[in-house]
Amino acid sequence: MNVNDAILDPYLAGALLAAFSVLWIFLGWWWGRGQDALDDFMLAGRRVGLALGTATAMATWVTASTTMVAPQFAYELGVWGMIGYSLGSVGLILFAPMAARIRRLMPAGYTSGDFIRLRYGVWAWRVFLVISLVYSMGWLVSLAMAGGVLIHALSGLPYHLGMSVILGICVIYTLLGGLRAVIGTDFIQTVIIITGIVLLGFLTISRVGFEDMHATLAQERPELLNLLMPASLMFLFNNLLFGMGEIFHSNVWWSRAFAFGEGVGFKAYLLAGLFWTPIPIAAGFVALAAPVIGLNVPRSDMVGPMIAANLLGTAGAVLVFVVVFSALASSLDSLLAATSDLILEDIYRKHLNPGASQQHLRRAGSVVIVGLGLLTWLVSLPNIDTLGKILHFTGSFVASTIWPVAAGLYWRKTNPTGALLGMVAGSVLGLVVYEMIGWYTAALVGAVVSMVLTVGTTLAAPRDFDWQDLQEEHKA
Amino acid sequence: MRIFATTFFAVALTLPLAAQSDSAPVWAGELELNSSGGYYSLNWAAAPGSDVTSFYLEEAASPDFAGADRDERRQVYDGEDSGTTISGKADGTYYYRVHGRKDDGSRTPWSKTLGVTVRHHSLPRAFAFLITGALVFLATAVMILGGYRRERSKS
């Protein structure tokens, strides 16, 4: 990479990294004590309350994307890039009623894959698993890369070092603590993230000022202020649908719906969505200060940390480091845990070893987490593109699951073949437009195609379904 | 003859070194780029063997930098980094060149000229995507909220 003018001393950056690593691993061990049962490790005993529930939903959704990609999109696409990113909260808000219904329909459920298998059959389930795994890997890789980009942008330390350390730490404490540790650390990370981003936004306004920002942008980068900039208009609902697809299909959110106590899911997701909405706006706004202060941005996904470091000096660099590390850790651990659940339940137990005991699955879960971490590390090493583009590569896949999931939960007559075709065709056509038109169109096309096929086949050939078929007991 | 040979070899041996340390920076990637979003990244590197410590990047509206006067050229970057991201550009073609600077203040020749053509998507296309996205979102929201209301009225 090409930052040769970093602000944070490499030794200080290394010390911060080491200190947070020790703290997070200790918390993982502390919260993970005594979790031998699979329900404890995978679903925190299904007893998570409202405060922790809201915090974990919000902290998990405040990813490196929020703290680094929101500024990236503001820097590339201007005002709509910033506001459009905050539309990602719509997915969380709409998942609130869905979480309550999921808990009611499947009180003993484990994964989103369980739902698709029971609702639509084996082949739709297998397609869904492929989509889930593609998305999980895309998100894991973007998070791991964000760690490397962050450390490099702030301190000039090599990308590979930062990426490897942050990924390694998250694997270790997820391994030790399971979902209970993930949720517990989420609460701390939420407090750090909200405080840090609000402080950064306030300091940026006070140091730079709206008038200077507007004047500079109008002169040097006029399209960033243009509310009719075509790419940003196309980005708006693409990002909203991408967020919906991410949340509706991903086991990260379904595992929480199963883990929350009775009646908690609806309120937790609703509150998390509402509290999350202003965060990407604050984070994105910071990026627009770059041209005003004459800051050079070698790569657009570095703009957030670089601005903070430049405006606020070493203290700002440390603040950004703490906030982004917290955001990264809070999402990496959730994703590792949820993806390992999916692999364990839907691939290992259902396809390879149906007779596996709970203790065996508990041990296998650890192996899966380590394997995922290693694979993520290998794919992240080449650092192929910006974080936003890598994440949105998965857009067509996840958005194609919106209607199959939602219609499957609420419509008794949804056609299973239509749902399967919707996921396949939506993913493929979304990828085509990703290459031919732009990354900011893939999710939208994936969602449209999937909706048309799901609704069309259901109207033409409705198929009855008994909701009781979703009640599946797992062996103790 | 001896003087000629000595002079010849002295020049021949030192010329490559002089040429190496004074070589222009090189661009990473193509010399012609396209952008439909008004943003793009430019990356460059010092020539191999060069002792350049900083770079100066310039932008102009015409490829003939030598013909453009000072007012038509714009400094984009002056520092140690070897890349930059430019955004918010309107339709048009923008030309860039970069030279390196050493600690003693001397500079290398200019790099080759790189051209970027910005052509935004048409507004009809943009609005088509916007309206389609809005309709899909509304349909989804209506389905979910309708289902939620039915559930609540039953319970």
Spatial distance between the Cα atoms of A143 and A54, rounded to a whole number of angstroms: 22
Measure CB to CB from residue A229 to each of B84, B120, B145 and give the nearest one: B120
Q: What is the mean pLDDT of chain A?
A: 84
What dihedral angle (degrees, nearest 10) is formed by the CA atoms of A205, A210, A214, A215?
A: -110
Interface contact flag, B77 A296, Cβ < 8 Å: yes
Interface contact flag, A444 B136, Cβ < 8 Å: yes
- Best residue in B44, B75, B85 for a mutation probing chain A (most A CBs within 10 Å): B85
pLDDT value, residue A460: 97
Spatial distance between the Cα atoms of B81 and A121, rounded to a whole number of angstroms: 54
ipTM field: 0.84
- Per the rule left: phi > 0, alpha: psi between -120 and 50, beta: everything else, A260 is beta
Chain B residues near residue A4 by CB distance under 8 angstroms: 80-82
Spatial distance between the Cα atoms of B111 and B122, rounded to a whole number of angstroms: 34
A-B contacts (CB, under 8 Å): 148
Structure-token match 């943003």, residue found: B39
DSSP state string for A313-342: HHHHHHHHHHHHHHHHHHHHHHHHHHHHHH
Query: Which of the given ranges, A69-83, A198-212, B17-31, B82-96, has the highest pLDDT on average?
Result: B82-96
| Cα A65 to chain centroid, rounded | 7
For residue A3, pLDDT over 60 is answered with no
Mean pLDDT across A99-119: 88
Chain A residues near residue B122 by CB distance under 8 angstroms: 230
pLDDT value, residue A180: 64
Per-residue confidence band for A408, with pLDDT thresholds at 50, 70 and 90: very high
**CB-based contact (8 Å) between B15 and chain A?**
no
**CB-based contact (8 Å) between B29 and chain A?**
no
pLDDT value, residue B71: 58
**Dihedrals φ, ψ of A256, to 5°?**
-70, -40
pLDDT value, residue A181: 66
For residue A196, pLDDT over 70 is answered with yes
pLDDT value, residue B59: 94
Chain A residues near residue B152 by CB distance under 8 angstroms: none
Burial bucket for residue A437 (CB in 10 Å: 0-12, 13-18, 19+): middle
pLDDT value, residue A326: 76
Inter-CA distances, A420 with A414, B29, B37, Å: 11, 41, 34
Q: Please give the share of chain B, as a percent, with pLDDT higher than 70.
A: 81
- Best residue in A4, A72, A451 for a mutation probing chain B (most B CBs within 10 Å): A4
Any idea which of A11-20, B30-39, B83-92, B104-113 has the lowest mean pLDDT?
A: A11-20
Query: Which of the given ranges, A179-188, A227-236, B4-13, has the highest pLDDT on average?
Result: A227-236
Per-residue confidence band for A462, with pLDDT thresholds at 50, 70 and 90: very high
Residues in CB range of A166: below 8 A, 6 or more apart: A17, A144, A147, A148, A151, A325, A328, A329, A332
Mean pLDDT across A238-242: 94
Residues in CB range of B3: below 8 A, 6 or more apart: none
Per-residue confidence band for B14, with pLDDT thresholds at 50, 70 and 90: very low
Interface contact flag, A299 B41, Cβ < 8 Å: yes
Chain B residues near residue A441 by CB distance under 8 angstroms: 129
Mean pLDDT across A191-210: 80
pLDDT value, residue B1: 57
For residue A320, pLDDT over 80 is answered with no
Q: How close does chain A come to B100, measured CA to CA in Å?
A: 14
B31-60 tens-digit pLDDT: 999 999 999 999 999 988 888 889 999 999
Any idea which of A155-169, A303-317, B91-105 has the lowest mean pLDDT?
A: A303-317
Buried b (16+ CB within 10 A) or exposed e, A84-101: bbbbbbbbbbbbbbbbbb
Per-residue confidence band for A5, with pLDDT thresholds at 50, 70 and 90: low
Strand partners, B43: B83
**CB-based contact (8 Å) between B144 and chain A?**
yes
pLDDT value, residue A476: 41
**CB-based contact (8 Å) between A447 and chain B?**
yes
Per-residue confidence band for A111, with pLDDT thresholds at 50, 70 and 90: confident
Measure CB to CB from residue B89 to each of A77, A223, A236 and give the nearest one: A223
For residue A195, pLDDT over 50 is answered with yes
Tokens of A131: 């989509």
Which has more confidence, A151 or A368? A368
Q: Are A279 and A92 in contact (CB under 8 A)?
A: no
